[in-house]
């Protein structure tokens, strides 16, 4: 992978991880922040599909190689984080008699099922969906490689299926996986077309203009204001979100380079652990009577967000001193 593209993906990874933490810090209650945070998940899926199909080969050996790599990078940390959350819940409930937000079973078999289904760490449904995608990814590649225009057909079919699917299933995100696959398989052709097509040459100034993107976002904010998240139009906005991010990164990275270099090693750890910090900070604020459950405190969200980011950085820096543990928690990422 080219160095420039690799860096842009790292930068996007940092940006999207920040948006996920913002989402679960409840800052999304402040509109139009919710519109921004809803960009994160579909773009993550699109990037994951793009990375899977980089230098893709429709062979059995390539398929097994990808599964093995995803066991290290996805399955192992998925189980570890859910086990950590499960243990924290057990300790809080059975040792300190503190209230916990979920019903956590005590018997070994039920505990195993609980961990497998990601009940302790809800946001990790994302990783479970990715693992399922890896199992059926060759089907996406075979169809889109056979006929590039089939990405449109697959996206339309995905949109129809999504109306009858759960948010946390792979079927809901078929268009995002299809787009990522298409960009990976036809990357050179797309870049050539973008640089030499007359229409693209005419439109590029607008696409790469940040003011243009801001105006588009403002229009979407107005259009989707108070729009239910299960609305079809809102769903179409979300699955088109990766295209927004691509446009954002075409000209230059929106994040400072030093911020990307500082935070990128912590992104997967942040994704796995952030909810634990958020819930406990929120619980502490409730216990100290700084907030109540029946009122919205915008400053509470901001405090929780920055406290969570600080805890991620501090704990992550300490765990990095134990390379073996850090490798497991980050899915053996460099």
Mean pLDDT of 143-168: 92
Q: Look at residue 65 and tell me whether its pLDDT is greater than 90.
A: yes
187: domain range?
Answer: 3-329
Query: Which pLDDT tens digit goes with each residue over 209-265?
Result: 667 777 777 777 777 766 777 788 888 888 888 888 887 787 778 888 899 999 999
Q: What does the DSSP assignment read for 111-157?
A: HHHHHHTT-SSGGGHHHHHHHHHHHHHHHHHHHHHH-TTHHHHHHHH
Per the structure, how many domains does the chain have?
1
Instruction: Label residue 38 by pLDDT band (50, 70, 90).
Output: confident
Maximum Cα interatomic distance, the chain, rounded to a whole number of Å? 68
Q: What is the pLDDT of residue 307?
A: 94
User: How far apart are the C-alpha atoms of 244 and 219, rounded to whole Å?
Assistant: 14
Rg (CA), the chain: 21
Which single residue is written with the structure tokens 């100034």? 205
Long-range contacts of 122-126 (CB under 8 A, 24+ apart): 122/275, 123/20, 123/24, 123/271, 123/274, 123/275, 124/78, 124/81, 124/82, 124/272, 125/168, 126/41, 126/44, 126/271
Q: Looking at residue 155, what is its pLDDT?
A: 93
In a domain, 246, yes or no: yes
List, in order, residues 6 or more apart from 247 with CB less than 8 Å away. Answer: 207, 208, 213
pLDDT tens by residue, 2-30: 688 888 899 999 999 999 999 888 765 67
Residue 117, both tokens? 């289904």
Helix boundaries (H) for the chain: 3-24, 33-37, 40-52, 60-70, 76-90, 108-116, 125-146, 150-162, 174-185, 187-196, 198-207, 210-223, 232-239, 241-251, 257-263, 267-287, 298-319, 323-329
What pTM was estimated for this model as a whole?
0.90
In a domain, 235, yes or no: yes
Q: Per-residue pLDDT averaged across 308-327, rounded?
A: 96
Q: Does pLDDT of 66 surpass 90?
A: yes
Does 110 reside within a domain? yes
Mean residue pLDDT across the chain: 86
Judge whether 136 lies within some domain.
Answer: yes
C-beta of residue 16 within 8 angstroms of C-beta of residue 255: no
**C-alpha angle 47-63-152 in degrees, rounded to nearest 5:** 45
Are 95 and 106 spatial neighbours (Cβ–Cβ below 8 Å)?
no
Give me the pLDDT at residue 204, please. 65
Give tens-digit pLDDT for 97-139.
777 767 778 888 888 998 898 888 888 999 999 999 999 999 9
pLDDT of amino acid 223: 74
Q: Would residue 148 count as lying in a domain?
A: yes
Residue 129 burial by Cβ neighbours in a 10 Å radius (0-12, 13-18, 19+): buried
Dist CA 202 CA 222 (whole Å): 27
Higher pLDDT, 304 or 193: 304
Average confidence (pLDDT) over 314-329: 95
Q: How many residues does the chain have?
A: 334
- Statement: residue 314 has pLDDT above 90: yes
In angstroms, the Cα distances linking 315 to 229, 312, 321 are 34, 5, 10
> Do the Cβ atoms of 59 and 141 come closer than 8 Å?
no
157-204 pLDDT, tens digit per residue, is 999 999 889 888 999 999 999 999 999 999 888 877 777 666 666 666
C-alpha–C-alpha distance, residues 256 and 260, integer Å: 7
| Nearest residue to 119 via CA among 100, 136, 132 | 100
- Collapsing DSSP to helix, strand or coil, 239 comes out as helix
pLDDT of 234:
83
Predicted pLDDT of residue 26: 77
- Structural domain contains residue 313: yes
Q: What was the pLDDT predicted at 124?
A: 92
Please check whether residue 237 lies inside any domain of the structure.
yes
Which residue has 């990275």 as its token pair? Answer: 253
**Does residue 334 lie in a domain region?**
no
């Amino acid at each position: 992978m080219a160095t420039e593209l690799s860096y842009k993906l790292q930068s996007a990874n940092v940006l999207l991880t920040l948006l996920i933490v913002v989402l679960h810090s409840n800052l999304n209650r402040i509109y139009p922040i919710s519109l921004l945070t809803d960009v994160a998940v579909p773009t993550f899926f699109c990037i994951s599909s793009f990375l899977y199909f980089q230098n893709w080969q429709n062979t059995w050996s390539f398929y097994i190689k990808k599964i093995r790599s995803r066991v290290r990078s996805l399955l192992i940390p998925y189980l570890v984080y859910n086990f950590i959350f499960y243990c924290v819940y057990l300790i809080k409930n059975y040792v300190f008699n503190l209230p916990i937000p979920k019903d956590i079973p005590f018997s070994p078999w039920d505990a195993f099922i609980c961990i497998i289904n990601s009940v302790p760490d809800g946001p990790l449904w994302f990783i479970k969906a990715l693992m399922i995608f890896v199992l059926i990814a060759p089907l996406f590649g075979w169809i889109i490689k056979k006929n590039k225009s089939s990405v449109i057909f697959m996206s339309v079919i995905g949109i129809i299926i999504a109306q009858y699917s759960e948010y946390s299933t792979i079927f809901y995100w078929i268009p995002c996986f299809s787009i990522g696959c298409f960009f990976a398989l036809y990357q050179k052709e797309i870049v050539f077309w973008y640089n030499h097509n007359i229409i693209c040459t005419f439109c590029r100034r607008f696409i790469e203009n940040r003011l243009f993107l801001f105006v588009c976002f403002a229009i979407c904010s107005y259009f989707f204001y108070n729009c239910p998240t299960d609305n079809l139009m809102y769903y179409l906005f979300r699955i088109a979100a990766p295209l927004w991010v691509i446009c954002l990164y075409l000209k230059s990275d929106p994040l400072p380079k030093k911020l990307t270099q500082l935070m990128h090693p912590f992104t997967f750890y942040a994704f796995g652990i952030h909810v634990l910090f958020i819930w406990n900070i929120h619980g502490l604020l409730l216990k100290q009577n700084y907030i109540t459950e029946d009122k919205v405190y915008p400053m509470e969200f901001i405090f929780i967000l920055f406290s969570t980011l600080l805890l991620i950085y501090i704990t992550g820096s300490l765990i990095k001193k134990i390379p073996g543990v850090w490798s497991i928690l980050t899915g053996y990422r460099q």
